[in-house]
Amino acid sequence: MALGTPESIVASPPKATHSFTPPLQDLLWLNVYSRRPLLDAHWKALLYVVESRGGQDLPSMEFHNYQIHVADAIQASLKLSAPSLPLCQRYRELRKIENRHNAFGVAGIEISFEAFGKSISLPECALSPNVIEALVDLYAYTTLLDQYCREAHDDHNLARLGLHRVLVQLQLMSALFPTENGDLDQPSSDNRLGAVIKSAALLFALAVTFPVSNPEPVQIVVGRLKAALENVGIKASTSDSHQDIYTWACILGALGASDVPQKEWFASQLANQEFERSRRTAGLSQCSSWDEIYQVLARFLWLDLACNTAAHKVWLQVQEMVTIRLNQSRILETT
């Protein structure tokens, strides 16, 4: 296989460049195989094997299809591009199942899509149906992963989690990169909020649900998220739903950033938004607590085990910044 063997790849892991702590990094040797893109010669050889054998849907290819899709998902994630191969028949059959509980094959787990689906389906987000569907499936997989991490359900196995992780990542990359130029849709004046959601979701996928070892794609997406947030901006008149998206995206950006200036930029955006909220609604009272902010984050793509510890530290920094500004404002009002 084009992936080679673990022994053929450098054993020492790359230095961590973000603050996420994703689970199951070694599932399917993802932490090893995602260190760098496959050599072009190896990738072309894999594509040739698939084509020369008549395609992925032949019975003779059934055994190899899973590994082929794993390689395709890794390659697309590292290059930030659409997958090179179509889904094989088994994956297409899973995608046709409309009921998410049946599609993900786990009975007894409550997966509520309403709040998340409503948040990303706002007209001003201007997300395509394919993107919304991919994000909802990513949310569903995150729910299953959370249940696995909490060991709260017996009907789990790593094989199923691995299969759905690959399928969800392939679907996400296909939806976010519909063209061959390797770029997310450029934000126009009427879908800037959608660009924020797409960049934040991709960051979450690359760092948490499909954690790649190579730091470069994550940092590229962090830069794109920062640019998307700068295009949006948050004003006092912005709706609560927009502010919630902005908060979630900024915290993901702070966790994904590899250098201090970038981390501080995301934290400062959160502090600016929180200061305006406190001044407008609480009468210069106080900053929101971590518990209040967590309730916002949990409505979006979020995994407690991977995000909470680092996010709590970010929010403590934000609280400190906001408290200083609130105290300064009180002093000015009394003089």
pLDDT tops 50 at residue 48 = yes
The stretch 168-175 carries a mean pLDDT of: 93
Question: In whole angstroms, what is the distance from residue 148 CA to residue 321 CA?
Answer: 36
Plot region of 80 (φ>0 → left; ψ -120 to 50 → alpha; else → beta): left
Write the DSSP assignment of 188-215 as a string of letters. -TT-HHHHHHHHHHHHHIIIIIS--S-H
Mean pLDDT in the chain? 79
Q: State what percent of residues in the chain have pLDDT above 70.
A: 73
pLDDT tens-place string over residues 245-280: 999 999 999 999 988 889 999 999 999 988 887 777
Task: Tell me which residue of 283, 253, 272, 277 sits closest to 325, measured CA to CA.
Answer: 272
